Amino acid sequence: MADPNEVNVREGGGNLASDIEAALSGEVPFSNLPLADFSQEEITKAMQDALALVEKNLGKDYPFVIGGELLHSDDKSVSLNPSHIHQEIGHISKASTVDVGDAVTAAKEAFKAWSHTSARERAMVLLVAAEEMRHRKYELAAWQVYEEGKNWVEADADLAESIDYLEYYAREALRLDMPLRFDIPGETNEYFYEPRGVCVVIAPWNFPLAISAGMTTAALAAGNTVIYKPSGDSPVVGAIMVDILNRSGLPTGVLNFVPGPGAEIGDPLVSHPDVDLIAFTGSREVGLRIVRLAGDTREGQRGIKRVIAEMGGKNALIVAEDADLEAAAMGTVISAYGYQGQKCSACSRAIVLEGVYDKYLEILTEKTMQITIGPAEDPDAFFGPLINEAARKKVLRYIEIGKHEARLALHRDVGSLADEGYFVGPVIFADVPPRARIAQEEIFGPVLSVIRAKDIDEAIEVANDSDYALTGGAYSASRETLDRVKREFKVGNLYLNRKITGSVVNRQPFGGFKMSGIGSKAGGPDYLRQFMIPRTVTEKIG
Ligand code: NAD
């Protein structure tokens, strides 16, 4: 079990054991980790040093982990740097379908003891791991620069969010550990939560540490055991997370790691009769498949599987006639092209009122022309590569579709970067019909559809005309318009007069509905409950 006294190796002094005790006792409430300020020389230097350190460690072998054993197989996948596709990040042993069965057995066995550990002990593991992540902050961000093509700021934000999840879910586990009592004379009633069992965590690559750590530690904090499958595009970051958590005091078999292609090991994982719950974040296509498969019961299965699925988006920003157009265009650029549009929350539709349409488009185009494009390790690059060749082909296909559906207003050339990595420059389509494919389908790349609306009624109607309901926003100077958008634009996370990406744990719990997902918001007060079973015990007394 985690012992903070044994990991009290803090640089710059401070006592970890007493800090963890203060968090566990509620004396130190949750607070978000501030983002790195790269305008400060010593912080830039720390990131440069971390990039150099990680570069020296590229190309190593990573095992899968079952029941505490580190296992290597001959069947390995190679993780590549999307900015420089000749550069290998690591070689990862793939778990087979047989290994998946072994992982479920190990997790089921470990559940017997882990489900009886106290919330305090479980929370302590998360807090110890959070401390290690803070300690290795720049190094962990640097891995994402190399493996996922995130620029410095995006990589740091993912890291901060990861630590926030650990700190937040540790405290949530303690909060939910207090049974509610409804006693009357002659009868006691107790309402409390218990863990569900074996949880399969299936994660995407685009927030390689934050989403993986969020789903995994929520499951663990609630007392479940976990089989974690990272994305094939972020296995090294996944392996590092597993190593940190396992060294932070998790007993053997509580967290198992099965990297491998979703198409091969996904179905056996989801369908296994001894899996009780699946926490998935990824595309609608895979999410719906998981929901369907999890709904079937197999021989020997004792319960109905619970599925938490966070899926895609086709997010819109409304620009009203009284909007500050400079701010609206800037908010659109950051929301549409941050991490090359590869965020579930990214803006892919700008719905602009007639009266300001031309002016907005002009400013938007100007600002998009100013974006700096380059490899992710370049501190000046705002815009980097797409994650892999399939993503590049998909985006290029949609650009061709868009040329038949709308007017191509801008497609930035990336020059020779396209030979070096998976680069596709930012794209703006103007005069896009609201029902066009480029305005309805999730592209997951830097392609923005600008749509004309005659008034705010039409803008809201177009904004809601989507299968998805994840994020959205509006720019307006009018209280009345903002209130109306708040009431009528139905999305999980709505942002007014600001960018629509970059939600923060606890302050902006995150998640959508319709085809964007089933589940309560990550980083919010209902999230952990989904990983638990509520029970009521009534006793007649006297
Ligand atoms: P993806 O659906 O392709 O993959 C997600 C995970 O599912 C990966 O680990 C993959 O290996 C696995 N997988 C693939 N086939 C599977 C199968 N048959 N059974 C089980 N698992 C399988 O998605 P991605 O490309 O990794 O991520 C991008 C998608 O994720 C986008 O649609 C984006 O909007 C969405 N996303 C949503 C959120 C959110 O919070 N709503 C956050 C991030 C990303």
Residue 8 has pLDDT above 90, yes or no: no
pLDDT digits (tens, 9 = 90+) for 477-532: 999 999 999 999 999 999 999 999 999 999 999 999 999 999 899 999 999 999 99
pLDDT digits (tens, 9 = 90+) for 171-217: 999 999 999 999 999 999 999 999 999 999 999 999 999 999 999 99
Place of tokens 């994660």: 203
Question: The dihedral of CA 410, 411, 416, 420: what is its sign?
Answer: positive
What's the number of CA atoms in the CB half-sphere (13 Å) around residue 535? 9
pTM of the model: 0.97
Distance from residue 262's CA to the centre of ligand 1 (Å): 9
Give φ, ψ of 272 to 5 degrees. -55, 130
The whole-angstrom separation of Cα 228 and Cα 274 is 15
- pLDDT band, residue 18 (cuts 50/70/90): confident
Give me the active site residues, please. Answer: 310, 344
Residue 2 has pLDDT above 70, yes or no: no
Decide whether any atom of ligand 1 lies within 6 Å of the 503 Cβ: no
Residue 464 has pLDDT above 70, yes or no: yes
- At 9 the pLDDT is 45
- Higher pLDDT: 9 or 95? It is 95
Decide whether any atom of ligand 1 lies within 6 Å of the 77 Cβ: no
Task: Break the chain down into helix, strand, coil percent, rounded to 5.
Answer: 40, 20, 35
Decide whether any atom of ligand 1 lies within 6 Å of the 492 Cβ: no
- Beta strand 64-66 with 69-71 is antiparallel
- To the nearest 10 degrees (0 to 180), the angle between helices 152-175 and 119-135 is 160
Could you count the other beta carbons within 10 Å of the beta carbon of residue 221? 28
**Average pLDDT value over all residues in the chain:** 96
Mean pLDDT of 357-365: 98
Joined together, the tokens standing for residue 464 give 């809601």
Joined together, the tokens standing for residue 62 give 């990573």
Residue 14 has pLDDT above 70, yes or no: no
Distance from residue 204's CA to the centre of ligand 1 (Å): 5
- At 542 the pLDDT is 86
- pLDDT band, residue 15 (cuts 50/70/90): confident
Distances (CA, A) of 495 to 203, 343, 450, 458, 503: 25, 16, 18, 19, 10
Q: Among the atoms of ligand 1, which is closest to the Cα of residue 286? A: 2
Residue 226 has pLDDT above 80, yes or no: yes
pLDDT digits (tens, 9 = 90+) for 81-124: 999 999 999 999 999 999 999 999 999 999 999 999 999 999 99
Domains of the chain: 51-180+188-311+520-535 (3.40.605.10), 315-504 (3.40.309.10)
- Higher pLDDT: 349 or 9? It is 349
Decide whether any atom of ligand 1 lies within 6 Å of the 204 Cβ: yes
pLDDT digits (tens, 9 = 90+) for 279-309: 999 999 999 999 999 999 999 899 999 999 9
The whole-angstrom separation of Cα 207 and Cα 228 is 15
Q: In the chain, what's the furthest Cα-to-Cα distance?
A: 83
Distances (CA, A) of 130 to 49, 122, 408, 504, 529: 21, 13, 46, 17, 21
pLDDT digits (tens, 9 = 90+) for 397-449: 999 999 999 999 999 999 999 999 999 999 999 999 999 999 999 999 999 99
**60: helix, coil or strand?**
strand
Decide whether any atom of ligand 1 lies within 6 Å of the 286 Cβ: yes
Residue 43 has pLDDT above 80, yes or no: yes
- At 7 the pLDDT is 47
- At 121 the pLDDT is 96
Distances (CA, A) of 56 to 135, 248, 265, 378, 520: 19, 25, 32, 17, 41
Could you count the other beta carbons within 10 Å of the beta carbon of residue 370? 8
DSSP class of 265 = I
Q: Among the atoms of ligand 1, which is closest to the Cα of residue 229? A: 9
Joined together, the tokens standing for residue 258 give 């099965």
In angstroms and rounded to an integer, the radius of gyration of the C-alpha atoms of the chain is: 24
The whole-angstrom separation of Cα 165 and Cα 58 is 27
Residue 5 has pLDDT above 80, yes or no: no
Mean pLDDT of 64-83: 98
Distance from residue 285's CA to the centre of ligand 1 (Å): 8
Find the distance separating the first CA and the last CA of the chain, reported in whole Å: 40
* Helices first, then strands: H and E counts in the chain: 17, 23
Residue nearest atom 42 of ligand 1, based on CA coordinates: 344
Decide whether any atom of ligand 1 lies within 6 Å of the 229 Cβ: yes
- At 4 the pLDDT is 47
- At 367 the pLDDT is 98
CA nearest neighbour of 198 among 180, 165, 224, 217 = 224
351 alpha carbon, distance to own chain's centre: 26
